[in-house]
Chains A and B, each alone.
Chain A
Amino acid sequence: DAGVIQSPRHEVTEMGQEVTLRCKPISGHNSLFWYRQTMMRGLELLIYFNNNVPIDDSGMPEDRFSAKMPNASFSTLKIQPSEPRDSAVYFCASSLVYGYTFGSGTRLTVV
């Protein structure tokens, strides 16, 4: 089992550009979560899906953020347009009944 796979590991982009983060959950896991980690705010839950359906997106900061899960093996988190304050580490995690497994994260830097 390769675990939760996130890409890219690092992303540097200019303010105003579109950024897409990708996640492949563990096969068989039915829940997928996107978290953002910063020094100031710690770990924040942005959105989570259950059986590919968005359940709670109350943590999505604003309309510039969107997430999709078109099938059980793939999810994206998109930021358009990106801003410097979006700089953070973005984690994807998948779960099957309280068995969270985190990916290694994507470190996003918006300059």
Chain B
Amino acid sequence: NAGVTQTPKFQVLKTGQSMTLQCAQDMNHNSMYWYRQDPGMGLRLIYYSASEGTTDKGEVPNGYNVSRLNKREFSLRLESAAPSQTSVYFCASSYGPANTEAFFGQGTRLTVV
């Protein structure tokens, strides 16, 4: 019953460093998403992948890149981290568009100093 698995769970970066957040799902879902959660703002969509081989920008894509490695895996890369990217990042997956149930990972708490 793994569902959506994210790694790492916590990370501290210095400004300008790069890192990749990993996400994998074992539910054979077509669509995968990366959200960030900031206090008082709910969750905002960074990028999504409607199906294997496609990726699209969400609401707040600047400073991020993504790769849909295969149907199971969807990674998020910060090329040059900035303090404004301090947030909790959630990966999610769903069988189809967002009006089908989305399943979320446990989140990655990222701090950029």
A and B: partners? no
Chain B residues packing against A (C-beta within 8 Å): none
Chain A residues packing against B (C-beta within 8 Å): none
